[in-house]
Amino acid sequence: MSRTFKNTGTKYIVTNQNMLHKLEAAVEDLQMKGNIMLVDGDTAASLDKLVAMGEEIKEDLPKIRIISKTTIAALLSTSGTTGFPKAAQLSHYAIIAMLYQLQHAVQPCYAAGSVSVVFLPMYHMFGLCVVLSLGLVQGLQHVIMSRFYPQEYLKNIANKKANLLHVVPPVMALLANHPMVCQYDLSSVEHIVCGAAPLCPELARKLQNRIGVQCILEGYGMTELGVPFVNTEAHHKLGSVGRKVKLVQSKIVSVETGKELGPNIKGEIWIRGPQIFNGYLNNREATDEMMKEDGWARSGDVGYMDGDGYLFIVDRIKELIKYKGHQIAPAQLDHILLDHPDIADAAVIGIKDEEAGEIPKAFIVRKQGTCITESDAQEFLSLRVAPHMKLRGGVEFIDEIPKSPTGKILRRELQTKDAFVFPTNP
Ligand code: AMP
């Protein structure tokens, strides 16, 4: 947390009592005690309080003129293609472009007055742009939950007669498979929007049969690139992530030669368009690694485009792990493990998991003469990270972490038997 606050130059924190304890260390570290605004209480009163607090500090805030292409509207944390989490800068222009693109793609599923029960975090692009901002533009009614509680979620859908759901694949799995789902009337649900991680086509089919939804929209998105591909109601191919949204250009590029490839040939997905981010804050090197001349951006995902323009994602060459749609940066976990006095070297990878999609597993080299166990390492890490980052995939002790001559961890070599396999088109 301190790292993020330092990197972004955070001055004020708006939060509630429940979250306060998580901030303590960082706030102490950065001496920000006086700059925390708590918004507990009933919503109307809290909003008034927040506005009043804003009035108080108004004079201290820099006066800005918004220039849509360069003024940053949001900083979203992401690990990008490699390394530690970074702050991706989204301009007003990029967000508005994304909303315009999505508006066209998701109609008529986002009809004004549609009711959606929302549990997705709004610090992520899916929650912030696809759910909250697009919902406001379209006039949706959101029933917002502070986090995902399965029973409460199902109860809210039934009671509020929700007709539009925004989910990640593990929630699709719950809706498709869990016996508890039969106890609730979900017949109001017409459309489901799924994103943030690979969706198994079998699962989509099963859910469609079980609760009889009209359409499952799947979006392929990335914090830095918006949502360039969507399976819409009108253009849909199961197993693919759909076709390009308006104003997006894409190409499939050979990882080996850097040359553009033709239809049905796998390569890295490159994207260009007005919704692309403005680079990482204070990290020129990572920005240059990802952004090419002429505005093309590398996704770090591997896929192919069929003859009809549908994109199929088949692999990921970047280091990212996706646990239930949440990002985990393996480099961040390696780094923490290396602080343990008995660990000589460590590398974390994502392995396949039925329920969560992927879970982190650590490969550890013990220091000579030490006997750190799997549970020691798991406990050490879990005390220092958010719950979704725990080493649920376990620990394997090895003699050496495979590395390139430049010292880069060769995570692919560790993945041989545990590899996360992307769902394939049936
Ligand atoms: P994030 O920046 O957290 O949105 O993560 C972006 C990454 O999530 C992408 O680069 C993909 O690796 C993965 N991802 C997002 N949506 C999909 C999808 N529909 N199918 C497969 N992978 C996806």
List the one residue out of 172, 304, 325, 176 whose CA is nearest residue 237.
304
> Which residue among 200, 310, 322 has the greatest number of ligand 1 atoms within 8 angstroms of its CB, and so is best to mutate?
322
Q: Is the CB of residue 278 below 6 angstroms from any atom belonging to ligand 1?
A: no
The predicted structure's pLDDT at residue 56: 83
Which residue's CA lies nearest to atom 10 of ligand 1?
222
Which pLDDT value is given to residue 408?
Answer: 82
Query: Which CA distances in Å does 191 have to 165, 358, 393?
Result: 6, 26, 33
How far is ligand 1, taken at its centre, from the CA of residue 222, in Å?
5
Residue 420 has pLDDT above 60, yes or no: no
Establish whether residue 290 lines the binding site of ligand 1, counting it when its CB lies within 6 angstroms of any ligand atom.
no
Which residue's CA is the closest to the ligand 1 atom numbered 14?
197
- 42: confidence class by pLDDT, cuts 50, 70, 90: low
Which distant-in-sequence residues (6+ apart) come within 8 Å of 391 by Cβ? 333, 348, 360, 361, 362, 377, 378, 381, 382
* Contact 80 CB / ligand 1 (< 6 Å): no
Average pLDDT of every residue of the chain: 91
Give the pLDDT band (50/70/90) at residue 426: very low
Q: Ligand 1, from 222, 275, 277, 323: best to mutate by most atoms within 8 Å of Cβ?
A: 222
Span 369-394, pLDDT tens digits: 999 999 999 999 999 999 999 999 99
Q: In angstroms, what is the span from residue 264 Cα to ligand 1's centroid?
A: 20
Give which of 397, 384, 387 is closest to 337, Cα–Cα: 384
pLDDT-derived band of residue 5, with 50, 70 and 90 as boundaries? confident
Provide mean pLDDT across the span 92-102.
97
* pLDDT at position 312 over 60: yes
- The answer to whether the CB of 313 is under 6 A from ligand 1 is yes
Q: Which domains does the chain have, with CATH numbers?
A: 2-63 (no CATH), 87-316 (3.40.50.12780), 320-413 (3.30.300.30)
Count CB-CB contacts under 10 A for residue 292: 14
Mutate to test the pocket of ligand 1, among 240, 320, 358, 422 (most ligand atoms within 8 A of CB): 320
> Strand runs (DSSP E) across 306-419, as ranges?
311-316, 321-323, 326-328, 343-353, 357-366, 395-397
Assign 418 a pLDDT band (cuts: 50, 70, 90).
low
Task: Kindly give the distance from the C-alpha atom of residue 4 to the centroid of ligand 1, in angstroms, as a whole number.
Answer: 22
Phi, psi of 412 (to 5 degrees): -60, -40
Predicted local confidence at residue 423, as pLDDT: 62
Note the pLDDT of residue 419. Answer: 53
Q: Report the pLDDT value the prediction gives residue 358, as an integer from 0 to 100.
A: 94
- pLDDT bin (cut points 50, 70, 90) of residue 63 is confident
